[in-house]
Amino acid sequence: MFLFLKLRVLQPFFRVHWLTYSIGVLLLISVDLLQLLIPRIIGKTVDFLISSREEVFGQLLLLVFISILIAVLRYIYRECIMGTTRRLEYYLRKRIFSHALRLPMSFFDEHGPGKIMALTTNDVSAVRVAIGLGIMLFVDAVIMGAASLIVMVKTINWQLAAWTILPLPIIFMLVIYMGKFVHDRFRKVQENFSSMTEFTQEVFAGVKIIKGFAAERTTLERFSSINKANVAANMEMAQLQAAYIPVTHIAPLTCYAIALFVGGDLIIKGAITIGEFAAFSGYLGLIIWPVMGLGYLINTVQRGAASLNRISDLLDQPAYEDRDEPVETSKEIRETDIRITNLTFQYPTGKQPALTNLSLFIPAGTVLGIVGHTGAGKSTLLQLLLRLYNPPENTIFISNREIHAIDYNSLRQAVGYVPQDSLLFSKTIAENIAFDQPYLREQIEKAAQLAVIQEAIDDKPLGFGTILGEKGKKLSGGQQQRVAIARALIKEPAILLLDDIFAALDYRTQAELLANMSQFTAGRTTLIVSQRVAAVKSADLIIVMKEGSIAEQGTHQQLIEKKGLYYELYEQQLMNGEE
């Protein structure tokens, strides 16, 4: 029942591709039934060698014809079954990737990218093998095994058949028993693979830090520990797999020994002919081969079941559409006033609220400056407005609409967001700026000018066509930040969220960027998070956050006159020459 529930993941695919797959299975059954004719033909040929040489030629022609027919049908059924499973592999990878993109940030806070990578590689391949090669082995075992046994009993000698297959049920039960352990061990293998993949990705993404701290030896020791755990899990799996071989290979040796002893006696007594014994040996091989492959079959199916379970677990994770059905959608947000009422939010992995009873009204077109010490909740507020994390219901309203009632895609399309981590992709500068949709070259250049990055781009030999490499490594930190700013400005959003975008900029560049931004933000609701007072002092309203709450709010001059937290921050930066 549990496996059946997990198989629902495959139902949408097989509703489309069931016919091709079914044809493949039917042709596979046909090939198995045709193979039942071969031992009989060989047996008759052996008898005809003694009695009638003329009949031998006819039997050989029939054998050649059946062999050619089997070869053609085998090609077609493999094309149908294996081709379908390759399409299934594509389908599952696309579905996993699509679903992962829609998962909330809380999922990625708990699980690293290694899990997704393992699912789209090893796990998908394991499911493909189980649905493809697994079904072929299963049909061979059932059809050829059962049909061969029936033919042996009815057409040759039931006593010989009974004695010969006596060891097979014992072997079958042993293999079934051992197969129970495969599922858990393979799941452990996949989980260890995920951990190793995630660690390796993190290491080489941050290799500059590792080299800068001369931490190669420490990193290698950590990797060795993870690698040992991975090897240990694989060794446990290998030990279990190794036990299949001697267990399953006992069957043919024992069965053939019994067949020779009992069959030889029956030939001497004249109960069966030599040709019948030859046919019996052929049928016995058709039974034994599936039993020998039974261990591999169970191993393949259990691996596939374990991987399908992991894939199903991911797809069961609630995505935005699944959890938050919007009661109202908005293709365009025009009047972008923001009202926050008694907002308290705690991260799923947090021990205490990041925001506590926060209330604020931001009129449309207002530029809001947000300052405060690290951990005050500034970035959390922006992420909730963007619904990277879901706020409690009836706490955030945009244009008088509860934020959950606005389709999250519509919301995000109306927002330009620049996070603290200005992550760029291994594409050209132009592609990084025009990231979310195609833009005209003039739009890209205008955004670059507004973000004060045009001059740095022109200095590159390939200009906007410069490929940045992983995480934009061909640019300096400040240049990366400005490309990320251009990426938000090119959208010409109704709401602009800027999260500490000046941290990597020198003060001359900051001043030039602020001058450009003052023109761009006119009429746009803009929230600027910054540690620098100079970046927010021209804002229409400034709030000072402390421990998840608003400690002070007002204009720059009003806050200076209060001589509170904002004034202390201002004085400190003034003394350090930052103003």
pLDDT value, residue 24: 93
Sort strands 338-345 and 355-362 into parallel, antiparallel or unpaired: antiparallel
Question: Is residue 332 assigned to a domain?
Answer: no
Q: Indicate if 307 and 372 belong to the same structural domain.
A: no
- 518 is a domain residue: no
Number of Cα atoms under 13 Å in the Cβ half of residue 202:
13
Region class of 181: left (phi > 0), else alpha (psi between -120 and 50), else beta: alpha
For residue 308 the two structure tokens come to 């399908």
Neighbours of 29 (CB within 10 A): 17
Q: Is the model's pTM score more than 0.75?
A: no
Tell me, yes or no, whether 307 lies in a domain: yes
DSSP helix/strand/coil, 378: helix
Q: What is the pLDDT of residues 113-126, one digit of tens each?
A: 777 887 888 889 98
Query: What is the pLDDT at residue 208?
Result: 63
Q: Are 380 and 354 in contact (CB under 8 A)?
A: yes
* Helices first, then strands: H and E counts in the chain: 25, 10
Q: Which residue has the tokens 């050989």?
A: 60
The vertex-49 CA angle with 45 and 54, nearest 5°, equals 85
For the record, the structure tokens of 490 come out as 């090119």
380-398 burial, b at 16+ Cβ within 10 Å, e below that, comes to bbbbbbbbbbbbeeebbbb
- List residues bridging with 496 in a β-sheet: 416, 526
274 and 188 within one domain: yes
Q: Which of 485, 386, 297, 512 is nearest to 105 (CA)?
A: 386
Q: pLDDT per position in the chain (579 positions), as tens?
A: 444 456 788 889 999 999 999 999 999 999 988 888 888 887 778 777 766 666 777 778 888 898 899 999 999 999 999 999 999 999 999 999 888 888 877 787 777 677 788 788 888 998 999 999 888 888 887 887 777 777 777 777 777 777 877 777 777 777 667 666 766 777 788 778 877 877 887 777 667 667 776 778 888 888 888 889 888 888 887 877 777 667 666 767 777 788 788 888 888 887 888 777 787 777 777 777 776 666 667 778 878 888 888 888 888 888 765 344 444 444 455 567 899 999 999 988 778 899 999 999 999 889 999 998 888 889 899 999 988 888 999 999 998 889 888 887 788 888 888 888 878 888 888 888 888 788 889 998 898 898 888 888 888 888 888 888 766 677 887 888 888 889 888 988 889 999 888 877 777 888 888 888 888 888 889 999 988 888 888 889 999 999 889 999 999 999 998 888 888 888 887 766 555
Is the domain of 388 the same as that of 477? no
| In a shared domain, residues 289 and 371 | no
Residues 159 and 226 in one domain: yes
Phi and psi dihedrals of 414, rounded to 5?
-90, -5
Question: Which ranges constitute the DSSP H helices of 370-413?
Answer: 378-385, 408-413
Residue 353, classed as helix, strand or coil, is: coil
Residue 241 and residue 97 in one domain: yes
Domain with 387 in it = 337-414+495-509+523-579
Residue 176 lies in a domain: yes
Looking at the fold, whether 140 and 206 belong to one and the same domain comes out as yes
How many Å is the Cα radius of gyration of the chain? 35
pLDDT tens figures, 270-299? 788 877 778 777 777 777 777 666 666 777
Cα 57 versus chain centre, distance: 58
For residue 175, give both structure tokens. Answer: 């293999």
Residues 35 and 93 in one domain: yes
Q: From residue 79, how far is each of 138, 160, 335, 483 by CA, in Å?
A: 18, 39, 58, 49
Asked whether 450 and 520 are in contact (CB, 8 A), the reply is yes
- C-beta pairs of 555-561 under 8 Å, 24+ apart in sequence: none
Identity at 256, one-letter amino acid code? Y
Domain CATH code at residue 402: 3.40.50.300
Distance (Å, whole) CA 41 – CA 363: 90
* 241 vs 299: CA distance, rounded Å: 8
Q: Please name the residues in contact with 391: beta carbons below 8 A apart, sequence gap of 6 or more.
A: 343, 345, 384, 403
Question: What's the CATH number where 267 sits?
Answer: 1.20.1560.10
Site of tokens 């500068």: 429
Q: How many domains would you assign to the chain?
A: 3
Find out whether 551 and 356 touch, Cβ atoms under 8 Å.
Answer: no
Residue 292 placed within a domain? yes
In-domain check, residue 153: yes
Is the Cβ–Cβ distance between 451 and 482 less than 8 Å? yes
Nearest Cα to 219, choosing from 230, 206, 229, 235? 206
Rounded CA separation 509/481 (Å): 12
268 with 162, same domain: the answer is: yes
On whether both 450 and 301 belong to a single domain, the answer is no
Give a yes or no: residue 323 inside a domain.
no
| Non-local CB neighbours of 264 within 8 Å, separated by 6+ positions | none
Locate 178 and state its tokens: 């051992």
What Å distances lie between residue 283 and 30, 42, 145, 188, 217, CA to CA? 16, 11, 9, 40, 61
Q: Is 561 within a domain?
A: yes
The 8-class DSSP code of residue 452 comes to T
Please spell the DSSP secondary structure of 488-519, one letter per residue: HHTT--SEEEEESTTTTS-HHHHHHHHHHHHH
Question: CA–CA separation, 36 vs 143, rounded Å?
Answer: 10
Compute the distance between CA of residue 472 and CA of residue 453 in angstroms, rounded to an integer. 14
Whether residues 388 and 459 fall in one domain = no
Rounded CA-CA distance 319/119 in Å is 17
Q: Are residues 545 and 480 in the same domain?
A: no
